[in-house]
A and B are shown apart, each in its own frame.
Chain A
């Protein structure tokens, strides 16, 4: 079942593009990564899903409920972690969590205790005296305390130190095992690699690609680095080379095709060096970005 489904979701701020014809489907129980550079439309999508802003055209449902008409019912079951944490300065961390909990019709005190201990947070401290990382902890706890069925996380790891980040990922995976769906945005691609089942790549307000992580990992992408004896010779030409760049007689290729063809082609050259490796996903993604940009 689709937990989040958008149909040609479009948002313009006056004449400025936010997102355009975004079609997404996030399935129940998956961890879904929403990847893109800053300004690509990740936050716009999230803010539209939560009805902070209204779609210009298109529609979307969360839990099968319309995001505009049934926003309140949706939000009762969603935990949202904002990209930038801003809270009431006059409250202590504990007061903020209690205030947050009172919006839900359930007793969250046990869960709050568990989470504050887990994150080692002092609930007596005033929010304004907390460091950025500690504020983020408060934000994480407030998004988990009512045991939501869907977590929407906007750039969740910014401001967290590596140890806390690992902690946080463990919790996400734990929640996910309990059946919680996780939707998170990020521009840090290495995060995605470890956590997500599926990813969507967004750029300039449009979804470029939606991909299973396993397929991406198992894909035939090869990073080929070769140095030719004669720097002037033409680069190899086989179907499947999606990207090539030259630097001082050394060619770097991104290859996604029949490896036998590649080997046959390379046999025609006199080589000084040849290096084949699996490219990091980051490079695969960057390639998608660049290809889109050059169009």
Chain B
């Protein structure tokens, strides 16, 4: 577990920066909620004034701004999913690409480690980092709810709302991991993974805007962990969760397989 512990240490700073930034953003938004909620009727009236497209875009047809969790779903959830997703993709691709870009891979592979071991330890490293990211954000957000939100709210729904991004992040990190096989320059792997996340998010948004291309959303991980669904159902859809996990596992397996027979570029 030599590689794993090295990766955990070297990624720690990045993890804390991303996790605390996102957690603080959540804290601020949740802290604002009580003053917004003071006039609930006005808030819901305001929502009705929004153009239809905008309401769809934010998934607001299922979310009530007048509910603390609904409010969280509209204002904060997408940021955690999207920005956390960017972090995940950067992490997943960088963790492989950096060794080849810095040519330290020749150091690593000259040691008695199998390629499987390299992949597995790096995989564990990003999984643990992403769990930690969501744990930090989740705990601080929950704490903020307890401090700032005076009214009653479903802690169970909140739990699912805070857990759901984890599954999206795992998928996006797996995708980044896979792209690092083809983009071994750190700069290109970085832009490709950010591009992928933003691209998928954009596709998801288009799918939500128009009934005709609704299916597009389902090609992205975001649709499977939709804030509106979670708010409406009070839980995540277990089938969707399973699908996301299975897809992530398949991508990781493909990465593992291709890495076994890979020529390390000089």
Binding site for B on A (CB under 8 A): 13, 43, 47, 50-54, 71-73, 75-76, 78, 80, 82, 84, 86-90, 99-100, 102-104, 142
Contacts and interface: CB of A to CB of B under 8 A. Distances in A.
Given A47-B264, A53-B264, A54-B263, A86 B110 contact: no
A156 to B, nearest CB: 14
A293 B113 CA distance: 41
Given A47-B264, A54-B263, A76 B112 contact: yes
Pairs A-B, 10 closest by C-beta atoms: A76-B112, A86-B103, A103-B111, A80-B110, A53-B263, A52-B264, A102-B2, A75-B112, A72-B114, A82-B106
Interface string B122-136: 000000000000000
A75 B110 contact: yes
A47 B107 contact: no
B111 A90 contact: no
Using C-beta atoms within 8 Å of the partner chain, give the interface range for chain B.
Answer: 10 to 19
Chief secondary structure at chain B's binding surface? loop
B146 interface: no
Given A75-B110, A75-B112, A102-B2, 14 more contacts: A51-B109, A52-B105, A52-B264, A54-B261, A54-B263, A72-B113, A72-B114, A78-B110, A84-B103, A86-B102, A86-B104, A87-B104, A87-B107, A100-B107
16 contacts: A52-B106, A52-B109, A52-B263, A53-B263, A71-B114, A72-B113, A72-B114, A73-B112, A75-B109, A75-B112, A76-B112, A88-B102, A89-B102, A100-B107, A103-B113, A104-B111
Contacts, number: 58
A202 to B, nearest CB: 16
A103 B103 contact: no
* B105, B106, B113, most chain A CB atoms within 10 A: B106
B266 interface: yes
B12 to A, nearest CB: 11
Contacts of B104: 86-88
A4 B102 CA distance: 29
